[in-house]
Structure formats: C-alpha cells, structure tokens
Copies of this chain bind each other. A is one copy, B any other.
C-alpha cells in the first residue's frame, strides 16, 4: 500500500522501489498507471483525504462550534494514535523537510491545512453571530490555536504518544474555549 509508506516516511523519503514492492507491481506498471511519483502522491493524498483525514462536521444539526471542535479533537486523538494505522497525519507531515524539487507539493498540502483552519474560523464566526460566543471573540486566533493543537497532537503521535495521552491533550485544549 502506497498510502502507508507515504504516511509513515513522507514523500521524499519514500523511494519508488519501496512503492513498487509494497504495491506488488513492477516499476513500469506504476509509471503506466500514474505517470510519475508526484501524481501517485497527489492521488494518495486525495484518497487519504476522503477516507482517513479528520474533518470538522460544520453541518451538524443543533451542535455548537464547541461541540464540533470537541469532536474534531477527539477524532484527531483516535486517528493519529490508532495502533492499526501509521501515527500522525499525512497532510500535516508528509512534505515536511523537502527539497526545492517538491516545493509544489509542500505548497499544496499547506493549502489544505490553511483551508482547514479557515473552515474552523468560519464555524467560530457563525457561532459568534448566533450568540453562542461573546461578540469580542477572536475567531482567527481561536481557529489558529486549535489548528496548532491538532498539528501538535500529530507530532506527539509520531513521537510515540498514545491515544489516552492525545485524548487528554484534546480535553485540556478544549478548556481554553471562551466561556
């Protein structure tokens, strides 16, 4: 599975030889199917996004932003330290420390991360408008804080943190939610 390799080792540290042997196919088959390594990676990211990435469920009926963020943090803890999957998050760490040759991929994943934080910010804003949060709440700051927390949880998971430890981080972070 290409996903597991990119997930654990990142983009550049995963060689095409490892990919072909893990996928059980030969080198020309891989290039006939995907064109090049970058395209394979992009399709892997899309697959990850749809099947494994945590998402904030902004459409949940009757849920406040706090509820949604609580679920998001819970999902992050459960996913990032799932013993059956590689630790951490592909979108957060797969293009960390890459050469100029992969600057485009790094920018694409960064765009994903920024989009997630902006979605979080919109969610908080709508809760301010709905009166669930004080009108002077700094939505941008709050969104960035939880974005940073989730990225920190991903890094902690890669450093060996367990689900329980991540869940406690999530709970502590949530206590920073404005009254």
Contact = CB atoms under 8 A, between A and B. Distances in A.
Interface of A: 9-13, 92-99, 110, 113-114, 138, 140-142, 144-145, 147-153, 155-156, 158-161, 165, 168-169, 172-173, 175-176
Interface centre among A94, A110, A140, A153 (most CB of B within 10 A): A153
Chain A contact residues: helix, strand, loop or mixed: helix
A155 B12 contact: no
How many copies of this chain does the complex contain? 2
Contact of A156 (B93, B147, B158, B159): B147
A148 B141 contact: no
B172 A142 contact: yes
12 contacts: A93-B96, A96-B97, A96-B158, A110-B159, A110-B160, A144-B169, A147-B152, A149-B152, A151-B152, A151-B155, A152-B152, A173-B173
A9 B145 CA distance: 25
Given A13-B99, A151-B151, A173-B176, 14 more contacts: A9-B99, A11-B97, A12-B12, A12-B97, A13-B97, A93-B96, A96-B97, A141-B165, A144-B161, A144-B169, A148-B152, A148-B169, A152-B155, A155-B155
